Structure formats: structure tokens, C-alpha cells
Amino acid sequence: MKDTLVMRKRASDNKYLHKDFHGALSCGIEYLRKHYGAAVVARYLKTFTKSYYAPLRQQIKKEGLKAIKKYFQKIYKNEGGMVEFKESKDKLIINVKKCPAISHMKSKKYSVSPLFCETTRIMNEAICEGAFIDSKLVKHDINRGRCLQIFVRRTS
Amino acid sequence: MIPCTDFIPAYSELFKTLNKINGKKAVEDFWKYLAENFLTNLRSLVKKHGLKGCWLYWQHTLNEEAAGFTMELNEKKGFFRIKMHKCPSKGRLLKIKHIKPYHDYCRHCDVLYRHILEPLGFEYIFDSTKCYKASCSITVKARQ
């Protein structure tokens, strides 16, 4: 049709990586926090993690720390994070020097919910539940997009 | 960190959480909040460029989301259209067999964009009849 600008794309033409979704998730978390409180945010994230990451949880039960390392290496690489992994027999340390979610939101001037890093703490705890692994978000700096995550294997 | 590639199931679970707390209205209130607080770039682009602002907004998001689509813009005739052949979000939800998506997931596309575009003087038409197969269409028309 004359004067009509047309763009046609197949799904396979592009890589699926829309980082603005971090901003939308932050906005959703902030909405829940403001309207229903931090406990509802925690419940929501736990419910989501336990159901959606059920296959990963199974993998962690089978392979332990290796499965956690493999998963996080893949996702941080995919999003271009600056992350160091240190692994020993019973411990995995993930040192995030540049969180891709926070750095993207900052670059787009999206507001970052003060509870945004709960996605990391709660997700890590939930994926380790029942796998004899304790997880801790030892420290995090939401302004600079840095955090230190530790996973420790226990015997019982 | 929840990766951006897992956002869609997280978004769907958020709708389910809100629906459980206070029904459909709680979900719709959130969609309107999201439109007001997150889709500010769509509003600014349409304010600045008119219908072409829709083209500029969706050419960014649909390409990054790896959608299968046809997008058309005719400023003389006053319309913008997206024919979504393969919606990446709904497609993903249909593929994941171990979770149950929010039953009215696709309606967010109706509420969110309508909330932005109608007050700016456009008619917004969302055809959701083929959502069950991850397909839909959006038409934005300049009001005469």
C-alpha cells in the first residue's frame, strides 16, 4: 500500500533479550511493596521461584553446587554481567561486580525498588530448599549493583 | 537476579498474586500503575511524533523480544497496526508446561496501551481472538 511503512520479522530474526523487563519487574515489586507490604513481595517471589524453577531445583538436588554455578554462569554471561565465581568442595561464592539488571535500569533511568535485591536473596534460598545447601546474600549494594552470594553445602 | 528472559512467567505470577489478594480489579489497577510509571517512553514518543511514536516504541520492544510480527504505519491514512504472528510472551507461557499462567494474561496488552493512547487522542483496537495460539493484533487510529 502506498505511503505505508512496513516491517516484517520472524521470531528467529532476533535474539530474545529485552533488558527493559528488569525495569518492569522492579516496577511490579515496588507496586506490591507500596500497596501490600514487604511480606507480600517475599511471598510472591518465593511462590514464583519455587514453581517456575522447579526443574532447576531438581537439578540442584541431583548435582548440588555444580548446578547452581552452571545456571548462574549462563544467565550472567547472557546478560553481560561482571561476575566472579569461586568454588570449593562445599562452597560456592558468586561475587557480582556489575549486576546487569541494576546497571541496565540505571542506564535507562528506571527507578529501582528498594526491595529489588530480594529477587536474588529469595530466589537463591528457594532454589536451594530441600537440597542440603544454605544460601546467603552476604552483602549487596543496590546503588552500585554489586553483591556477594554464598552457597554452602551441609550434611543434614 | 531473575534474568530478563524469565520475566514473562514472573509477570504472570504477579498477576496471579494480585488476583488472589483482591480479584480482577487489583490486577487492572496494577496495569494502570505500570502504564503510568513504566510506559512513560511510549507516552513521550507518541506526544512528540504522533502515530510514528507507536512505530518507534514497538520497533524497539518487538525486536528485542524476538517477536514474529508485521508492523504497518500509514500517517496519511492515520493508522498504525501490529499483526502479531508469534507473540514471544504468550508463546513462552504456552510452552512452559510446569506452570499455570494467569488466566487472562493477554488482557494486559489491552489495558496498558489503551491507558496511554486513548487520552492522547487515538482509538485503540485490540483483537485478542487468537491469543490462544500466541497471535493477536493491535490497531491504533488517529481520531477524526
The CATH number that applies at residue A48 is: 3.30.1380
A19 touches B at CB < 8 Å: yes
Give the ipTM.
Answer: 0.94
Does B70 sit within 8 Å of A25, measured CB to CB? no
> Residue B106 in 3-state DSSP?
coil
A89 touches B at CB < 8 Å: no
Nearest to A51 among B4, B73, B99 (CB): B99
Cβ proximity of A68 and A60 under 8 Å: yes
Q: Which residues of B touch A17 (CB under 8 A)?
A: 4-5, 64
pLDDT digits (tens, 9 = 90+) for A43-88: 999 999 999 999 999 999 999 999 999 999 999 999 999 999 999 9
High-pLDDT (> 70) share of chain B, %: 100
User: Is residue A4 assigned to a domain?
Assistant: no
Q: Which residues of A touch B59 (CB under 8 A)?
A: 7
pLDDT at A1: 67
Distance CA A116, CA A27 (A): 9
pLDDT at A8: 97
In chain A, residues 125-154 whose CB comes closer than 8 Å to chain B: none
Q: How many CB atoms lie within 10 A of CB A19?
A: 20
Residue at grid coordinates 503510568:
B36
User: Is residue A13 assigned to a domain?
Assistant: no
pLDDT digits (tens, 9 = 90+) for A105-151: 999 999 999 999 999 999 999 999 999 999 999 999 999 999 999 99
Distance from CA of B74 to the nearest CA of A (A): 5
Instruction: Give the sign of the dihedral formed by CA A135, CA A139, CA A142, CA A145.
Output: negative
Q: Which residues of A touch B49 (CB under 8 A)?
A: none
Give CA angle at A83 (A138, A58), nearest 5°. Answer: 75
pTM here?
A: 0.95
User: Is residue A12 assigned to a domain?
Assistant: no
Band (B19; pLDDT cuts 50, 70, 90): very high
pLDDT digits (tens, 9 = 90+) for B43-99: 999 999 999 999 999 999 999 999 999 999 999 999 999 999 999 999 999 999 999
Distance CA A64, CA A26 (A): 30
Does A7 sit within 8 Å of B66, measured CB to CB? no
Residue at grid coordinates 513521550:
B44
C-alpha cell at A142: 543496590
The domain ranges of chain B are 4-142
Inform me whether the pLDDT recorded for A96 exceeds 80.
Answer: yes
**Number of domains composing chain A:** 1
- DSSP assigned state of A140: E
Q: Whole domain around residue A85: which residue ranges?
A: 19-153
Band (A155; pLDDT cuts 50, 70, 90): confident
User: Is residue A136 assigned to a domain?
Assistant: yes
Inform me whether the pLDDT recorded for B144 exceeds 90.
Answer: no
- DSSP assigned state of B76: T
Single-letter residue type at B88: P
CATH class for domain B4-142? alpha beta
Q: Which residues of B touch A110 (CB under 8 A)?
A: 38
Inform me whether the pLDDT recorded for A156 exceeds 90.
Answer: no
